Amino acid sequence: MRHDLGMAIAAGIDCSAQFTKITVCDTATGAVLRENRAPHPGVPAGTAPAEIDPQEWLRSLGAAAEGGLLEGIAAIGVSAQQQGLIGLDAGGVLVRPAMLRNDPRAASAAVSLVEELGGTAAWAHAIGAVPLASATIAKLRWLADNEPQSAKRLAEVLMPHDWLVWQLLGQSARRTTDRGDASGTGYWSTVEERYRGDLAALALGHELQQFPTVLGPAEAAGHSPEGLLIAAGTGTTMATALGLGMGLGDVMVSLGSSGTLHAVHDQAVSEPAVSTYADGTGRFLAQVVTLNAARVLRATALMLGTDLQGLSELALRSTPGAYGLVLLPYLEGERTPPLPHAAGTLAGLRVESMKPEHLARAAVEGMLCGLADALDVLRANGVAVRRVFLTGVAGRLPAVQAAAPAIFGVPVVVPAQAEYAAIGAARQAAWALAGTPEPPTWEPPSPHTVLEPGDDAPVGGAVRAQFAAVLKRTHPELGR
């Protein structure tokens, strides 16, 4: 059923590691009408717990919604961190606290699962991704090995957003998910668009009794007891892409300690170098990860006795190419390219290059060249790269913004600061309310900054060539 969006408003809820955030938007324009956030009780500021009682999410949701924040809304969308594990028994009772994405305990379990199926290529062809410690399927194996009684009780697994939707629906008999969150489990295949119950059983030691129904991106999960439409929901990454308005050829480059690239693509990629997840629009997100991004800048800033802003100011006093100084930024080994035991390398030391500003510039360029190599991995696997959305604190540094367009070779969009996952969840709710083939077209909360390579493109090419030459000499095992 289609609804006129002219007078309707929708709420987006994003449940992150620390907070529940709510953004209320006009469904026709996307204008943010009001918003609030509240911390999860018992989670210390600045930490990301490995597990949590999911009731804490409801408590923070209630706190964030105080003061009539949700008054007058017609629909709700939910996003939450992916790759959790909320285990229910046959009666729908919680088996143990929710295991969360950044729980590191399942690392060895992931390695074992990869070997048992026949290696990375076998997993890439089966589900479109190679499971890591964060994957739900690795958590299933960890439970089977370490908490066998909990594992035996396990009959169904929900993701955090699935559980929240279920609560908003009044714990209805049907439990649901979406393609995006299902694709992070390790037992839903983006290649075949179906559950692989055999893989879940491989990890757990017995078959799950049921799986949540996978909804389409514009499909409603149902209505709350109060009559509000509850959208399918999705994972935070998928909701963020929806909130940013990303389309085919767009790549979100998130500069955390590591670098994570998500490109909107029209098909699954079955190669170990690229992980394919489903997005929130019916398409796919091709992911490539580098282990070294903002950590390179922070480590260099510490060496130079400054902070990130001071590092940026120093780098801007240098020139492209950093007087021949090249930093291979593999401080923690590297996943892309595959150099798990590598260390960082500083090359090109001469009297004229041994200055703080040139080291700062080499750190910025080294990080960006590593990310540009990751963009090339996407291109080599048939993924178009037409525009980059640069996110994360490091993406706001002037030196990074000055160098990125030329090194990436495509326009760089620096989004205005906003709660894009919550906005994306609200946009999905508006889409479900409208019943249209495509989501409503929304303008960003504030204008984005768009940076073009322009005349600097050849300069960026020269910086990358300098980086590539050092990489080839230092790591001939890559065969470049």
Measure the CA–CA gap between 134 and 126, rounded to whole angstroms: 18
pLDDT category, 455, cuts 50, 70, 90? very high
- Output the pLDDT for position 361: 98
For domain 9-237, which CATH number applies: 3.10.20.340, 2.170.190.11, 3.30.420.40, 3.40.50.150?
3.30.420.40
pLDDT category, 4, cuts 50, 70, 90? low
CA distances 171 to 100, 160, 166, 174, Å, are 21, 14, 5, 8
- Output the pLDDT for position 320: 98
- Look over the chain and give the mean of its residue pLDDT values, rounded to a whole number: 96
Measure the CA–CA gap between 147 and 51, rounded to whole angstroms: 14
Measure the CA–CA gap between 234 and 261, rounded to whole angstroms: 18
pLDDT, tens only, 318-375: 999 999 999 999 999 999 999 999 999 999 999 999 999 999 999 999 999 999 999 9
Q: What is the pTM of this model?
A: 0.96
Q: Coil, strand or helix: which one is 253? A: strand
pLDDT reading at 271 higher than 60: yes
pLDDT reading at 3 higher than 80: no
Q: Coil, strand or helix: which one is 21? A: strand
What tokens were used for 164? Answer: 């929240």
Measure the CA–CA gap between 68 and 100, rounded to whole angstroms: 30
pLDDT reading at 112 higher than 60: yes
Mean pLDDT of 401-418: 97
pLDDT reading at 199 higher than 60: yes
Mean pLDDT of 384-393: 97
Query: Angle at the Cα of 452 (from 449 to 456), degrees rounded to 5?
Result: 140
